[in-house]
Structure 1
């Protein structure tokens, strides 16, 4: 069985290390965390609300620093068009301590309510206005046009996790173009 993806680390030492890293970043940005802890990717990412912002700290072993360590937020901030709604990046900080590298990201805290589906599939009408759907289609078109060499997940991750987390056979990843579809969504 695969370890859960969005939980605190199994090791109390790792949890303490991550909480300490978040505290280092909060002090550096002169902020006081106030919201609940939000653990992400197998306990290697920890975030909390800080006023009107969100502070998120990502960690990796030092030898993996400089690769994909938390680079997605900064890359999106630099390359995704403004019309795609997302938390704006306010500040970044990178450091190493011992055998770990850290990246702290300070982003705007989004208070807009989420669409609650209850499952990965939106199987009932969420009663959103037509303008919401129009804006979503526009943002999706703008995002599809952004070139990227990043791979969110590889086939091996899909194969390993779809059955255990979703209870379905894994799909095959395939190449696709960023051309807008002629189908209406």
Structure 2
């Protein structure tokens, strides 16, 4: 049976924590998410000369990702059933109980004023997020890839992330808002402001520059929505 082998390594004293254990913990928490998350087949750990190694064998995904880049460079032509599946699977994942943290309140309290220019909005609900939902982690038929960073985040965080990476394609960005009505709502403001701040921070480092103008526009919209 075709399978995907992922190999990671780190100094033995650093081979732990959210990203190191994320994929394995995702398997325990979500399983294959009704066939739309590549399930693990085996995991093997080894240590040699102070270096820890982990080999993760998972089901091979035969569908291509929707983009080679997290940023969508062309309008996504996807059926309503795909959008419904995505929303349903993220909602199911959001109900999983976990102590893992994807977004920290302390970060929000610093980054949102710094990059969006508003006080960090109150979070009305924290739930479990994939925390890296962009176009290079999605396929058609739907599979959700790369679960290393999952954990608790403000409600709507995954939707806001996908929206941010869709900003160059207005029709797709509008479709994201339809699929995830939390966007644009008071409940979604904290997540949207967090994602906007995160990406504007990357712009300041010289990354995602193509999104800068759209992110500035989004930031202004969020400022207008501030209570």
Calculate the TM-score normalised by the size of structure 1.
0.53
Q: Which residue of 2 aligns with 1:133?
A: 83
Structure 1 residue ranges without an equivalent (≥5): 1-50, 172-185
Structure 2 residue ranges without an equivalent (≥5): 112-197, 219-227
Q: Of Structure 1 and Structure 2, which has the larger fraction of its residues in helix?
A: 2
Matches of residues 63-82 of structure 1 in structure 2 within 5 Å? 63-68=13-18, 70-80=20-30, 82=33
Deviation at 1:69, TM superposition (A): 5.9
Q: Which residue of 2 aligns with 1:98?
A: 49
Q: Which has the higher contact order (CA 8 A, sep 6+)?
A: 2
Secondary structure (helix, strand or coil) at the match of 1:102 reads: strand
Q: Aligned pair count? A: 120
Q: Are residues 118 and 105 of structure 1, via their aligned partners in 2, closer, same or farther at CA, if it must alter by over 3 Å?
A: closer
CA distances 1:76-114 after superposition (whole Å, capped 9, x unpaired): 111126237111100000111112111110011101122
Q: Are residues 137 and 91 of structure 1, via their aligned partners in 2, closer, same or farther at CA, if it must alter by over 3 Å?
A: same
The answer to whether 1:165 aligns with 2:115 is no
Deviation at 1:149, TM superposition (A): 3.1
Secondary structure (helix, strand or coil) at the match of 1:86 reads: coil
Q: Which residue of 2 aligns with 1:113?
A: 64
Secondary structure (helix, strand or coil) at the match of 1:83 reads: coil
| Separation of aligned partners in 1, 2:60 and 2:37 | 10
The two structures, once aligned, show a CA RMSD in angstroms of: 3.2
| Separation of aligned partners in 2, 1:65 and 1:118 | 28
| 1:56 and 1:104 in contact (8 A); partners too | yes
Deviation at 1:120, TM superposition (A): 1.6
| 1:84 and 1:140 in contact (8 A); partners too | no
Equivalent residue for 1:86, pick from 16, 37, 46 = 37
| Separation of aligned partners in 1, 2:201 and 2:13 | 25
| Separation of aligned partners in 1, 2:208 and 2:55 | 31
| Separation of aligned partners in 1, 2:27 and 2:70 | 29
